[in-house]
Amino acid sequence: MWVFYNPNPTGARVGDCSVRAVCKAIGVDWDSAFASIALAGFVMGDMPSSNAVWGAFLRTKGFKREAIPDTFPRIMTAAEFCQEHPKGTYVLVFAGHVATAVDGDLFDSWDSSAEIPLYFYSKKEE
């Protein structure tokens, strides 16, 4: 379920989770994702790591912000989210962290499968 994923060119694993998540979600390299998010932050007058900034950028790429479904019998972990969503691309937002799930696999630089997503972004496949 968890797949090691760290496109950061220096191998850094802290502070750039939103950039890594966007890389996987839209299929670009780290430099392109960072530059795009940084430009969005500049235009919005906010930091690139702000949820509002990278979230707004994802929306320009066809993603939609959604709530975690209430139909699961208890609080859902990222692993359980992946099991419940075996197809599609999702950016999961945790308290202080972000990761991307694609077709039931969780892509991150560490095993965040036990984390509890607060909400997510999804993109309908064309």
Q: How many independent structural domains does the chain possess?
A: 1
- What is the structure's pLDDT at 60? 96
39-73 pLDDT, tens digit each: 999 999 999 999 999 999 999 999 999 998 777 67
- What is the structure's pLDDT at 73? 74
- The parent domain of residue 60 ranges over 2-123
- What is the structure's pLDDT at 55? 97
What is the pTM (predicted TM-score) of this model? 0.94
β-bridge mates for residue 105, sequence order: 102
Dist CA 78 CA 17 (whole Å): 15
User: CB of 25 within 8 A of CB of 63?
Assistant: yes
Q: What is the dihedral of CA 71, 76, 78, 82, to 10 degrees?
A: -30
- What is the structure's pLDDT at 126? 58
